Structures are given as structure tokens and as C-alpha cells.
Structure 1
Amino acid sequence: MKAVVCRQLGLHNTALADVDPQPLRSDGVRIRVHAAGVSFANLLVLEGKHQNRWEPPFTPGTEVAGVVVECGDQATLFKAGDRVVAAVRIGGFAEEIVAPESTVFALPDPVSFDAAVQFPTIYATAYGALKWRANLAQGETLLVHGAAGGSGLAAIEIGKILGARVIATAGDATKLEAARRHGADLAINYRAENFRDVVLRETGGRGADVIFDPVGGETFNESLRCIAPDGRIIPVGFAGGTIPQIPANLVLVKNVSVIGIYWGYYMGWGKQLPPPDMKDRVRNAFTEMLGWAAAGKLNPETYATFPLAAFRDALNAISERKVIGRVVLHPSTAS
């Protein structure tokens, strides 16, 4: 089968290759991959800069959607022909992949494969961050940075479902319009005006109750100055390139909670395993999210699609930081 293989760290050392299919494990589900999500994290993995590091050779990719080919003898939830979406630790940029059944989820017919690949990490992170970790409540104000990226759009939509007023920040008119299209009540061009001032003005000086931040750097620092008392700020990434150092005095005097979220922990990818009941909790979360998508309440946006052979073009689109929503690979067109 065809797969993207990184022989040495670096995108320039990565190429499409013929590889042997993975062996089917007893709890495994073999999936013919119709769509694979492409993300900034994939670039970091290829450069050896992600917190999850892999020694070459390896195939990047953590989000896939497709059709079940076969199941191991201990995998009982699916059968050949089922439409599914799956989270995988590595290996998604390939025509086929074997995923543990615990991270494979049934895909409702109304949800396309291209839309589905945003759920294993992007929508799941927004869901876990806002619903589980921050306990975002009806009527609270949610501030979303990087609002036109996949993570930002997911947070806007999840926030609206949970009943929040959503303020979004982005850097140009096209991205601001995307944020509004996905439900933002107010969109701020951070290049044209100081978002801190706008947030404080729009909330009567109180600030945002919850802040979803995939950017980091100075954006995080300014967020701490427009967060409400008892507010919760969630760093979910550092696309700005700088990991902020948190001033404890501001956390103290404003009763602020800084809340981490690594969705991979719930998938069993961390150094410590989650409690046994987490598998059911995660499956219930996917059932709810994909149900929202089937009902038209969540609308993942696909910026562009590429055949597997054009994976470099897909990753370069990410690196140019012009993508709205998500880029998707179609491995079925690899040959």
C-alpha cells in the first residue's frame, strides 16, 4: 500500500512510498482511509519539535476517516463496511491503517469523511477543554483566539452549543468572516485594535469568563489582562511560536485558573493511562459531537483537499498560515 514515510526528520526527508500493511492486532480495526486530517502538529512531528516524538522511519497523521476492512477477534463494535472515524497515535497518512477499537467511532451517514477527520483531536479538544475542563456555562463569555483555524472554529461552535457568548480574534477580514459564519457574536481584528481593550469594553470591564488560546506568546499575556475574576484560561497550543511564562501574581489576585488540556491523555497516549471508565466517557463524547454534526449544529470547514501524493502541498498550505478550517488528504487517490 501507499504511505507517506519520514526517513529522517524534516519534510524534505519525507516521501510517498510503498509499504507493507500493518498486521491486524486482536483489538484492532483495519480501516481503508478515505480522508486524513493535516495539521500544524504534523509539521512539528516531522521536525522533531512536537511533545510526541517519533524516531524515523514513521508515517505521520493522527486523524482518519474511512471504511472498516476487517476487525481483530477481540474487536466487537464494528464490522467490514462500517463508516468510521478514528484517532491514531501515528500512521494516518496512508491508504490503510489499523487502529485500536477504543479510538474508533461510528460515523453517522450525514457526516462526510472530510468533516469527520476534524473530530478525533480538533473538535474533541475543544469539547474536552470547554465542557469537561472549564465547565463553560450558559451565558458566560468565551474568548477564542486563532479563531479561523480548525481549533478556533471548533471552539466557537462548541461554545455556542454550550450557551456562551463568543468573542473571536483573527488577523484579517476573511478570517473574521469565517469566525462569524461559525457563530461568533463578535469578531476582533487583533492587527487593527487591541483585543484586550475591546473585550473589557464589551463585557462592561469584567472580562471573558473562559479563554481558549491555541496561539500563546503575547496573546496569552494580554489574555490574562482581560480575563474575568474566577475566569479560566486554556492554553491548547503555541502557534505563535513562544510558550508563555505565567505570572503567578496575576493568577493569584484575579482568582484565575490556568487549565491544561491534552486530548491524547484521554486516548491513552500519555505517559500515564486514564482511568478505565474514561473509554466510555470518550465514546459518549464522540456520540454526542457526531450527533451534533449529523444534525447540522457543528459544521467543520474544509479549506482544501489533496491526494496523498501531494502531501507536501497540504503541509505547505498549513505552514503559510492562510488556512481557514482544515486541510485534508485523500489517500484513496494515492496511486
Structure 2
Amino acid sequence: MFRRDVTGGKDNSYSQAVGRAKISSTSDRGVQEKQRQHMARGLPNQKPIAGVKRVIVVASGKGGVGKSTTAVNLALGLMANDPNLSVGLLDADVFGPSVPKLMNLKGNPELTENNLMRPLVNFGVPCMSMGFLVEDTAPIVWRGLMVMSAIEKLLRQVDWGRLDYLVVDMPPGTGDVQLSITQNVPIAGAVIVSTPQDIALLDARRGAEMFRKVKVPVLGLVQNMSVFQCPKCSHQTHIFGADGARELAHTLGVEVLGDIPLHLNIRETSDAGRPVVVSSPDSPEAEAYKKIAASVVRRLEDSSG
């Protein structure tokens, strides 16, 4: 049985145990704080890219959801909405670069007097990609350190001039490249691309949560391939499901920036290196991308305000 003191309080041994628990809890918090400070010292300092005002990353949890097509048309949509803007495009997918094909660009970058690479330009957008530095069909079989070195060169050894926005087409997933970019460069915001399919949304949520952990604002979700409209009868079919990205956006507390249909025109213009925003600027598909670009700008202004 517990012994009680003359004041009727709990046993002294109980009080002592509570005291030790408080000391232990305080000690644990101290250790955790020291670990946090140690980890923070180990992270690289974020440095802006010379000449670039804002960096927007376009990401997805998995491949095959139309991320690169969205990134390209987002960059062009920003300029279509405001011709006074200067917008660049960085292809950060080292293993599967898509920007050269989508932007119809080939060749090797020239070097400036300062030994910086000059981006290749089409449709008024300066572009940089690992695809400009290797042969089209050459596989890139690199380990992590080589990939990080390549990313550092693409970020720091390019003469972008003066840009209002740099749109970064991120590789799929939540790996080393994503962490390296977010830890080295101040990111204004992230756009998450997903189809409405459940399996894609699972990975999209992982991507959004990763950006939140590294303190990158998630501007919103793009629901790609949201609906298929038959070119003959105009019947609409939700091949990948309906409104899955909207439900995920509600769960994450972010907004849906826009819906992109599954349309033959988008596929054909992309494969031809003539993105739909510039090749069919008055089409509903192009309008969908321009609406997303306007939503991105509005969200950036809201967050900075």
C-alpha cells in the first residue's frame, strides 16, 4: 500500500517519480532541439538563382500523369496571359528529360564568356535540360552523387538573363533531386499534377506532403485527363474517375487550379513539339492551361501578400 504524508497527499515516492518524469521530458525536448539545430546546420543555404525572381516547381508523385506537358503549357500560359512577362523552363528530370521534345529543341548550349550555358529558346521561352547535353537515345546510368552534380550545374551554371518566373519540370517521385532543389533554391510554390485515378492520387498526396515538410508552399492541384470527350459525338467519359483531385485538394486544404481534359489535340501538339497553348491558342484545351497559369499567379500574389 502507498504511504501518505500528514497532509493527505500522495506518497512521496509517487511525487518523486512525477518529478523524475518531468526532468526526463525536459531533457528529451532539449535533445530534440539540439538534433534539430544539428540537422539545420547540415542543410545547404538556399541561394536564389541569378536573375530569377520566382521559381515554380511542377511535380507529381508518379510518372505518366502529364506533368511535363503541364509544365510546358504553364510556362507558355503565363506568357500568353501577360506578354510582358519573361518565363524560363528548366527540365530537372535527369533520367527522362521531356522538354527538348515538347519544345522542339535540339543542340548543345553555347557558353558565355563566364563559362555559363546559354539556354536554348523556342516560342520565346529559354529552356535548359539534360537532354541538350546527351544524345537522344543515350541512357543516363548515374549514381546519386553524379545526379546531384548535374542538378547543381543546371541550377547554377546557366545564364537565364532576367526572368519573372522559372518553371521547373521536376522528376516524378519524392527522391534526392526534389530534396536537393528545394534545399538549395528558394521555391515560390509547387504545383501538383495528378489524374483523378485513385492510385495516382495516393502518390500525389505523398508529393504534396513532401513539399510541406520542406516548407515549400503548395499552390494547388491540377486535375489532368479529367474527362474524355468523343470527337465525333461529344459524349464525355471520366476514364480515370471523376473529381478525385478535388477530393484530395479538400483533404489537403488546397485548391484545384484547374482541369485539363484528355484530348487528342493536346497529345498531337505535344508530340509534334508545338504545345497547344501556342499552336491552338483559342482552343478550349489552351484556355484550360491559361486558366491554370492565372490561378498560379493569383495564388502566388495571395501568399506573398
Give the TM-score, by structure 1 length.
0.27
Answer with 1 or 2: which has the greater Rg: 2
Which structure is higher in strand share?
1
Higher RCO (C-alpha 8 Å, min separation 6) = 2
Which structure is higher in helix share?
2
